[in-house]
Amino acid sequence: MSDITAHAAAVDAALNQAFSTERIPQGNNFEWLSHLESVKGAKMAIDSGIVDIEKIAAASHSGWVQAVKDDFNNEMTLDTPTNDERKRKRFLMSQLPYEHFPDAEKEKFRHMARTMLNM
């Protein structure tokens, strides 16, 4: 298991516990691949010395945005392709800067940042 995959699994478990969300099935699906990109974004921020939760959360959000763009532009090969309507909705949401994201969604990115800082 790669470092990123291990981090992603731990963060997924933490999010599940904190927000009562369903666990993300690992594999070639948008949810897992976008989660990996979020974790990569947060890890890159932390590895560069950033310890500010909002900055790490914003970096995590940027990873998710990249995954959304990749899926929207059909640059992501998925076992089950995302339907066009869902792609469009995600893409529109991804256009919001992190600062303008709904607080409930930002809190998930913050929780991810706190979890990763404690690893």
Show me where the domains of the chain are located.
3-13+28-117
Contact 101, 61 (CB under 8 A): yes
Instruction: Report pLDDT digits (tens) over 41-97.
Output: 999 999 999 999 999 999 999 999 999 999 999 999 999 999 999 999 999 999 999
Q: Is the alpha carbon torsion for 69, 76, 80, 40 positive or negative?
A: negative
Residue 2 has pLDDT above 90, yes or no: no
- Give this prediction's pTM: 0.94
**Across residues 30-44, what is the average pLDDT?**
97
DSSP the chain: --HHHHHHHHHHHHHHHHH-PPPPPPSSSHHHHHHHHHHHHHHHHHHTT---HHHHHHHHHHHHHHHHHHHHTT-S--SSPPPHHHHHHHHHHHTS-GGGS-HHHHHHHHHHHHHHHT-
pLDDT band at 1 (very low <50, low <70, confident <90, very high): low
